[in-house]
Amino acid sequence: MKSKLILSIALLLASLSSFSPANPIKIVFFGDSITQAGVSKTGYITQMQGMLAAQGIGDKYELIGAGIGGNKIYDLYLRHEDDLLAKKPNITVIYIGINDVWHKTSSRTGTDADKFERFYNALIKKIQSAGSQVVICTPTLIGERFDSTNENDGDLNRYSEIIRRIAKNNNCALIDLRKAFLSFEQNNNPENKESGILTSDRVHLNEAGNKFLAETMWSVLKDIK
């Protein structure tokens, strides 16, 4: 009798050890230096993982960063097979555009609006053809003044409009970071500072900026199945 009980327990343990939970939803964040830093201790991807764990749903999602500093839209297009599709994402979040705008004035190596739109559309088609849902984001800030006096505000608004149009034409969910960040600045930057509220240097996010980015992204991502 005792040997049968031991055998039953052994079989139960073996069956439990072979059990594997359902595959988590894999979300890959595809972008530039902000996404590259997103996996750091206070980065937005790390903070999002913490948020999900606190909600008791951390095991339902696998969050992966695929960012490289200095990248523009055509860089993402050139590396999408190796750095994105090879990871077989269920959901792809494209967060790009800062350098396409910023580098037009900082180093004259930005991306013209028409090329930006063409590369973006081509990239989305490649990703969707591979079976991944695509979520796209408008760019955030190049300078935190909320009164339209930052040098690149005009182009940031223009490229954000392009991305909104791209989202509509390609049936992509949109995370309107530009709108959200400007609203935050208007409500939380009474001295109209150029940096120090959400960014450390006008562009790259500080801990508060990464937290706000994680919360803003998740407010959209949570409803995508």
DSSP state of 38: G
Residue 56 belongs to some domain of the structure: yes
DSSP 128-192: HHTT-EEEEE----SS--SSS-STTHHHHHHHHHHHHHHHHHTT-EEE-HHHHHHHHHHHH-TT-
d(CA 7, CA 3): 6
Q: Is the pTM of this model over 0.85?
A: yes
Q: How many CA atoms lie within 13 A of 159 on its CB side?
A: 33
Measured in degrees and rounded to the nearest 5, phi and psi for residue 145 equal: -65, 135
Confidence check: pLDDT of 17 > 80? no
Residue 4 belongs to some domain of the structure: no
Domain count, the chain: 1
Q: What is the pLDDT of residues 129-146, one digit of tens each?
A: 999 999 999 999 999 999
pLDDT interval class at 22 (50, 70, 90): confident
d(CA 212, CA 47): 10
What pLDDT shows up at residue 19? Answer: 34
Mean pLDDT check: name the lowest of 18-27, 50-59, 214-223: 18-27
Mean pLDDT check: name the lowest of 68-72, 104-108, 126-130: 104-108
pLDDT interval class at 21 (50, 70, 90): low
Instruction: Return the CA Rg of the chain.
Output: 21
Question: Minimal CA–CA distance to 44: which of 221, 216, 219, 213?
Answer: 213
| CATH code of 120's domain | 3.40.50.1110
Residue 6 belongs to some domain of the structure: no
Q: Please give the average per-residue pLDDT across 5-23, as a whole number.
A: 46
Q: Taking all residues of the chain, what is their mean pLDDT, rounded to a whole number?
A: 92
Residue 13 belongs to some domain of the structure: no
Residue 165 belongs to some domain of the structure: yes
Residue 2 belongs to some domain of the structure: no
d(CA 178, CA 181): 5
Torsion of CA 71, 75, 81, 84, to 10 degrees: 20
What pLDDT shows up at residue 15? Answer: 40
Q: Please give the average per-residue pLDDT across 124-133, as a whole number.
A: 98
Confidence check: pLDDT of 156 > 50? yes
Residue 35 belongs to some domain of the structure: yes
Q: Please give the average per-residue pLDDT across 57-73, as a whole number.
A: 98
Specify the 3-state DSSP secondary structure of 19.
coil
Question: Minimal CA–CA distance to 33: which of 139, 111, 184?
Answer: 139
d(CA 156, CA 20): 45
Residue 133 belongs to some domain of the structure: yes
Range of the domain at 133: 21-221
Helices (H), the chain: 2-17, 33-36, 44-54, 73-83, 98-106, 113-129, 153-169, 177-188, 207-221
